[in-house]
Amino acid sequence: MSQHSGYTVSIHYDHRLFRHDIAGSTAHARMLAKTGIISQEDAAKIVDGLEKIGQEIEGGDFPWDPALEDLHMNIESRLHHLIGPAAGRLHTGRSRNDQIALDMRLYTKDVAEQTIQGLRRVQRSLASLAQRYSQVLMPGYTHLQRAQPVLFAHHMLAYFQMFQRDITRFDDCVKRADTLPLGSGALAGVPYPTDRDFLAKELGFSQISANSMDAVSDRDFVVDYLSAASLTMMHFSRLAEELVLWSSREFGFIRLEDAFTTGSSIMPQKRNPDFAELARGRTGRVYGHLMAMLTVLKGLPLTYNRDLQEDKEALFDTVDTLLPTLEVFQGMLAGLELDRERVESLAGESYMLATDLADYLVNKGVPFREAHGIVKDLCGFCESNGKGLDGLLLADYHRFSQEFGQDVFQITARSSAAARDNPGGTAPQQVSQELDKVRRILKEAGYGI
């Protein structure tokens, strides 16, 4: 090796593709024998040798050699050592270009499926939380200002919907990666009577690539995964931000299990929500991989260029960031404890019902804009006099509108939530129906609660 040859070495990270590479090579050997391109005897030796190599790698006994640069050459060299000249026939009718494209598609399909499973487990934790606290009211926010009472379950199920969209994106990612590139050769196809349909069936692909030049240079499916992962991490970052806020003494809404917090090095009273903060921070890391991959691809001419070697670390690190995040949030949400008394007291805080007072006037025939102005003035009066809306007398209401009657005192946080009784609203009846739908979704996916 020259002093600079290490610059091209990828074995230190692409070795994780060994299962997919061996699966692809095994199917390729069987196809070569089926079509008569190589003998059944040679194919049997190759398959047996590949199986032994897989066992060596699993057991940590494989002799990796950086001088061979990548996973493919390491396996091919070891195969030759184990079975002799027959190993040289394995690479008939393929190139490292379509070989790595195959490995990456197989890997992406696998990790996208794992991601979907992890998201389902997070959804189950969210649904369990919503079910446990199904009747608890909390303050809903806009601009981080208390706005209107909502059910805590409604808030949790908002994240369920975000992750449901993420699941559809990863499902699309599986579908887009589900095209067999093997058989494309280096770029132009191969001059052998290969059976690509057989390969597709053996390796679990629903279709074969239509254009050999596109097949070896396409990494859209990697971008698909990185894009879906970026959106998913964004959703986790939003949830993490709320968990950080809610677990602070200023909010005091929730308590996280000790397993998902850490102490301060000098302040013994503190329980820092470090797991949530790390998820929030690592979101930027995943964004960076997406932008890096888009930049790698933006100026590449057809077909294969060594730049594409950069797809692996971006994808691998994204997977290594996202999958543990799914596991952490599943556990963190499952152990979350809500301070019912605290959140319900704030949900019933008088200014939270200002919109309901405006709606009350609208139901009395007052135009909404006029009603909005009346209640705004009413709130200003309360602030000037150091009292809340719940401290007003009917005479105080009449200073601003004669439409207020004794029934205005029947407006509560519960009545406010119950009034939002339309599809997608926070009324208990609507949230109960939403929770039923969520339970059905999880049950059909095999993650019932």
pLDDT for 376-386, tens place per residue?
Answer: 999 999 999 99
Task: Kindly provide the b/e burial profile for residues 288-314, where b requires at least 16 CB atoms within 10 angstroms of the residue's own CB.
Answer: ebbeebeebbeeeeebbeeebbbbbbb
Residue 262: what pLDDT? Answer: 84
User: 350 versus 209: which is more confidently predicted?
Assistant: 209
What predicted TM-score, i.e. pTM, was given to this entire model?
0.94
Residue 291: what pLDDT? Answer: 98
Residues 64-102: pLDDT tens digits?
A: 999 999 999 999 999 999 999 999 999 999 999 999 999
Residues 225-237: pLDDT tens digits?
A: 999 999 999 999 9
Residue 258 burial by CB count (10 A; 0-12/13-18/19+): exposed, middle or buried?
exposed
For residues 341 and 231, what is the distance between their CA atoms, to the nearest angstrom? 34
Q: State yes or no: pLDDT of 134 exceeds 80.
A: yes
User: 350 versus 345: which is more confidently predicted?
Assistant: 345
* Residue 137 near residue 342, CB atoms below 8 Å: no
Domains of the chain listed by start with CATH number: 5-92 (1.10.275.10), 97-345 (1.20.200.10), 349-444 (1.10.40.30)
Residues β-bridged to residue 254: 338
Residue 338: what pLDDT? Answer: 98
Q: State yes or no: pLDDT of 270 exceeds 80.
A: no
What is the chain's length? 449
Residue 4: what pLDDT? Answer: 67
Q: Which of 264, 345, 415, 432 is catalytic?
A: 264
Active site residue 264: yes
Residues 13-62: pLDDT tens digits?
A: 999 999 999 999 999 999 999 999 999 999 999 999 999 999 999 999 99
Residues 389-447: pLDDT tens digits?
A: 989 999 999 999 999 999 999 999 999 999 999 999 999 999 999 999 999 999 999 99
3-state SS record for the chain:
CCCCHHHHCCHHHHHHHHHHHHHHHHHHHHHHHHCCCCCHHHHHHHHHHHHHHHHHHHHCCCCCCHHHCCHHHHHHHHHHHHHHHHHHHCCCCCCHHHHHHHHHHHHHHHHHHHHHHHHHHHHHHHHHHHHHCCCCEEEEEECCEEEEEEEHHHHHHHHHHHHHHHHHHHHHHHHHHCEECCCCCCCCCCCCCCCHHHHHHHHCCCEECCCHHHHHHCCHHHHHHHHHHHHHHHHHHHHHHHHHHHCCCCCCCEECCHHHCECCCCCCCCCECHHHHHHHHHHHHHHHHHHHHHHHHCCCCCCCCHHHHHHHHHHHHHHHHHHHHHHHHHHHHHCCEECHHHHHHHHCCHHHHHHHHHHHHHHCCCCHHHHHHHHHHHHHHHHHCCCCHHHCCHHHHHCCCCCCCHHHHHCCHHHHHHHCCCCCCCCHHHHHHHHHHHHHHHHHCCCCC
Work out the average pLDDT over 341-358: 93
Kindly report the average pLDDT of the chain as a whole number.
Answer: 95
Half-sphere exposure of 268 (CA within 13 A, CB side): 0
Q: Find all residues with CB under 8 Å of 94, minimum gap 6, and list them.
A: 28, 182, 183, 185, 190
Residue 263: what pLDDT? Answer: 73
Phi, psi (deg, nearest 5) at residue 237: -65, -40
Residue 449: what pLDDT? Answer: 85
The percent of residues in the chain predicted with pLDDT above 90, rounded, is 94
pLDDT band at residue 266 under the 50/70/90 scheme = low
Q: Which of 2, 4, 143, 384 is catalytic?
A: 143
Residue 6: what pLDDT? Answer: 83
Work out the average pLDDT over 249-276: 85
